[in-house]
């Protein structure tokens, strides 16, 4: 490190639920160790003139460490997701030379990532699609960085087509939310009741309601800090003026406004919080008195959800899809729903819309009414 070797540290995430994770970590550590020893043997000058050795692992490391790489500009949580995918690629194919890779190899990698560990389980298409998307990203960066072979590989990926994961169709609807809120309050989890109600009624993302815990870099002068982490982006009482919530969303930066006087049930739940506690984060874990971590919030949501019979396929994050679908089913203007949800494009809002019987019924009634109108004006019946 004193001689200038970088990176000084590499964050490696561990998931105790994955039996093979320790082997993956060991494989990655061996690659990192060998890279460091190679650098030490060749000297910094040689390493700087030959920063890439032609392997997939070396391209990944360049992507993660190059100051000109787009990797440096992504948010920490997105970077964590990227790291998980490149770790899989590096562990599986890191030693493969770029000049040896062709479409047959990429197709085989896709099929391997798609195959479930248990033959009785469904294919992991979402994982496989994430792998090929990351390959496109890596090769695209390689083109910009003038890494040999990447232009050829980027052209291959531009023409290649892979099956995409099915869009989620699950949603939390009003009946789910009503039952969940009642059970959460009865279980002494007003935080879960309030958080879920706000998500569903205002269409705010889970992260914009409960926030997220980041590594404390010392830049936040005020706020919640605990054990080297700082809480960020969640909903606070300072976001409420009178009965109006104003919140800058964490994903798009768009400011959304919601008047709680239009949502009397949610306002009533908010009023259950003692007056002397109405400062700082709104949704606090009753056990710790601190904002929830994402995993703990999801864990307790599932505990309460199972009590009221919600299927495991319905997630807390599906509150947003349920809210958008309910609004469109009710006849709300798509542009109004887009603004309420804090989207910047209508296509994003439409992606949250879960097809429902109400829409099909409304279309059928309009068609029949139009047909009758045509028939009454003397036009022949198409039947």
pLDDT tens, residue by residue, 293-311: 999 999 999 999 999 999 9
Distances (CA, A) of 179 to 200, 316, 332: 13, 14, 25
Cα–Cα distance measured from residue 243 to residue 268, given in angstroms and rounded to the nearest whole number: 11
Residue 28 has pLDDT above 50, yes or no: yes
Task: Name the more confident of 67 and 106.
Answer: 106
Distances (CA, A) of 177 to 80, 209, 350: 31, 16, 22
Cα–Cα distance measured from residue 270 to residue 278, given in angstroms and rounded to the nearest whole number: 10
Task: Name the more confident of 96 and 15.
Answer: 96
Residue 179 has pLDDT above 70, yes or no: yes
Contact in structure between 181 and 193 (CB atoms under 8 Å)? yes
Contact in structure between 381 and 375 (CB atoms under 8 Å)? yes
pLDDT the model gives residue 163: 86
Q: Mark out the alpha helices in 203-279 (DSSP H runs).
A: 206-210, 264-270
pLDDT the model gives residue 47: 44
Residue 45 has pLDDT above 50, yes or no: no
Distance of CA 157 to the CA centre of its chain: 24
pLDDT the model gives residue 166: 75
pLDDT the model gives residue 354: 72
Residue 43 has pLDDT above 70, yes or no: no
Average pLDDT, the chain: 85
pLDDT the model gives residue 130: 93
Share of the chain above pLDDT 90, in %: 39
Task: Name the more confident of 166 and 318.
Answer: 318
Contact in structure between 252 and 348 (CB atoms under 8 Å)? no
Alpha-carbon torsion, ordered 12, 15, 20, 26, to 10 deg = 20
The predicted model gives 47-66 an average pLDDT of 77
Q: Is 204 in a helix, a strand, or coil?
A: coil
For the segment 64-96, what is each residue's pLDDT rounded down to a tens digit? 888 889 998 887 778 878 888 999 999 888 889
pLDDT the model gives residue 98: 93
Q: Comparing 48-57, 59-68, 143-152, 290-299, which segment has the lowest mean pLDDT?
A: 48-57
Task: Name the more confident of 234 and 27.
Answer: 234
């Amino acid at each position: 490190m004193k001689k200038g070797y970088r990176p000084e540290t590499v964050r490696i995430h561990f998931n105790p639920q994955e039996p093979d994770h320790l082997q993956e970590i060991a494989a990655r550590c061996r690659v990192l160790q060998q890279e460091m020893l190679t650098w030490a043997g060749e000297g910094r000058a040689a390493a700087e003139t030959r920063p890439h050795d032609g392997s997939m692992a070396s391209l990944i490391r360049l992507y993660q460490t190059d100051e000109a790489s787009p990797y440096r500009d992504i948010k920490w949580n997105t970077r964590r997701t990227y790291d998980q995918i490149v770790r899989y690629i590096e562990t599986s194919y890191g030693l493969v030379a770029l000049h040896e890779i062709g479409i047959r190899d990429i197709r085989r990698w896709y099929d391997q990532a798609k195959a479930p560990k248990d033959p009785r389980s469904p294919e992991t298409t979402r994982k496989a699609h994430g792998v090929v998307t990351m390959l496109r990203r890596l090769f695209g960066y390689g083109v910009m960085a003038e890494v040999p072979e990447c232009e050829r590989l980027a052209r291959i990926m531009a023409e290649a087509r892979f099956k995409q994961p099915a869009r989620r169709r699950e949603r939390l609807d009003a009946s789910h939310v009503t039952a969940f809120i009642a059970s959460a309050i009865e279980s002494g989890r007003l935080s879960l009741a309030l958080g879920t109600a706000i998500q569903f009624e205002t269409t705010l993302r889970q992260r914009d309601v409960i926030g997220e815990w980041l590594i404390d870099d010392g830049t936040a002068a005020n706020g919640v800090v605990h054990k080297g982490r700082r809480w960020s982006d969640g909903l606070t009482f300072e976001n409420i003026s009178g009965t109006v919530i104003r919140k800058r969303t964490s994903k798009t930066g768009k400011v959304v406004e919601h008047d709680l006087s239009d949502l009397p049930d949610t306002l009533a739940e908010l009023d259950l919080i003692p007056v002397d506690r109405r400062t700082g984060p709104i949704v606090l874990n009753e056990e710790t008195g601190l904002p929830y971590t994402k995993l703990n919030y999801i864990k307790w949501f599932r505990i309460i959800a199972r009590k009221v019979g919600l299927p495991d396929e319905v997630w807390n994050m599906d509150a947003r899809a349920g809210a958008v679908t309910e609004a469109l089913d009710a006849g709300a203007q798509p542009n109004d729903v887009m603004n309420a949800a804090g989207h910047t494009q209508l296509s994003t809002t439409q992606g949250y819309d879960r097809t429902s019987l109400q829409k099909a019924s409304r279309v059928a009634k309009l068609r029949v009414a139009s047909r009758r109108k045509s028939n009454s004006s003397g036009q022949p019946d198409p039947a």
